[in-house]
Structure 1
């Protein structure tokens, strides 16, 4: 089974969904048969900030038109929701920045089968540690932490090497009608949107797995066919 996950690092619901999804995987006896692929999505591609100087609360007020009170309430609800999924949000020191460089790094990590680990590092850095995820030195340090060559990472960030891969994910999301994240696609057959609870992921994964294992039902009685050895009427 293949599960594709469209996500943006600046999306707190994506972080919650990742934890819930992985908890579901831990409960499945067939988890080793599930291939997970992370896909890029940008909630705010026009965000020019790369300095990590805009707090998440301020961003909600400027970009979403939230009042200060509504922003505080929203962030508190997210914090409580995160605790239920063992995500420790610290919005007092969470600063938003353009996520395109981080998505390029994710595609480099995917080349080495380490995109899931990189996704986790980026979420933790932004939402729990107050790091600027557009900082090239931070991204390079994460790559080195996962055993990815420093020079290759530097080249990735300074060139357009993975730009097409990132934008192709955006186009694919648009073609599928994906307008928000997190968004999970199971074997190009079923989809799950939003930060769903563990039970929802469990149910969907079991259903898709069981259907994939079902023998094909023959809907025709006519036995006229050809094999490599013979043709019969």
Structure 2
């Protein structure tokens, strides 16, 4: 059984969704039969890869939100994170272009370390306040996972894996995906947003038990990010 997950490292709901999804997997008797494939999605491809913004600067400049409103929204997401076991550090998070981070994800796929790379990128961005658009930062993350740093630097300074990243973007478009996280369960059901653990467990159980049917969205709500921002 295959689960495809579209995600962007800048999306807090993607991190929450990852945690909840993985907690749901823990108690499923068929967890070892599930193959997870991480897919790339960029919330804001217009960002300059050579620049960073704070979370509050980004909300103000890109979304037009006053600081008070931004703080309220971020506070709500932080509370969701705590319930999921994540202590977000939005004061340190640096917003930047994530295309290079997605290239690193595809390199990690080569070594069957995509899940570890997703987690490492989320931690770097949301917890440690590192610039996940900077080549040296990304090379160091690759090295921490046992991936050859020379190869990582070669990938990040060339066009290698550019097509793979763009293909993920195109595939998202073909599925009508406009926000992340977005899960496709065995080509059968789609789940959008950072759903609760119980929801993921039920969806996985249902998908496992049934035969393949046309893709159907079984989400009950929406905690996700799109190009216009994050919805709660």
TM-score by length of 2: 0.89
SS in 2 for 1:177: coil
Residue matched to 1:61: 60
SS in 2 for 1:92: coil
User: What displacement does 1:182 show?
Assistant: 0.3
Instruction: Work out whether residues 55 and 96 of structure 1, in 8 Å CA contact, stay in contact via their aligned partners in 2.
Output: yes
1:38 aligns with 2:4: no
**Aligned runs of 1:143-162 on 2, under 5 Å?**
143-162=142-161
Task: Give structure 2 stretches of 5+ with no counterpart.
Answer: 213-232
Deviations 1:125-151 (A, max 9, x none): 110111100111111111111111111
Instruction: Work out whether residues 24 and 201 of structure 1, in 8 Å CA contact, stay in contact via their aligned partners in 2.
Output: yes
Count, aligned residues:
212
Runs of 4+ in 1 over 6 A off after TM superposition: none
User: What displacement does 1:29 show?
Assistant: 1.0
SS in 2 for 1:103: helix
Instruction: Work out whether residues 17 and 194 of structure 1, in 8 Å CA contact, stay in contact via their aligned partners in 2.
Output: yes
**Aligned runs of 1:1-233 on 2, under 5 Å?**
1-52=1-52, 54-212=53-211
CA RMSD of aligned residues (A): 1.1
Bigger Rg, which one: 1
SS in 2 for 1:173: helix
Instruction: Work out whether residues 101 and 132 of structure 2, in 8 Å CA contact, stay in contact via their aligned partners in 1.
Output: yes
Instruction: Work out whether residues 107 and 152 of structure 2, in 8 Å CA contact, stay in contact via their aligned partners in 1.
Output: yes
- Matches of 1:51 and 1:137 in 2, distance apart? 14
- Matches of 1:98 and 1:159 in 2, distance apart? 16
SS in 2 for 1:107: helix
TM-score by length of 1: 0.89
Task: Give structure 1 stretches of 5+ with no counterpart.
Answer: 214-233
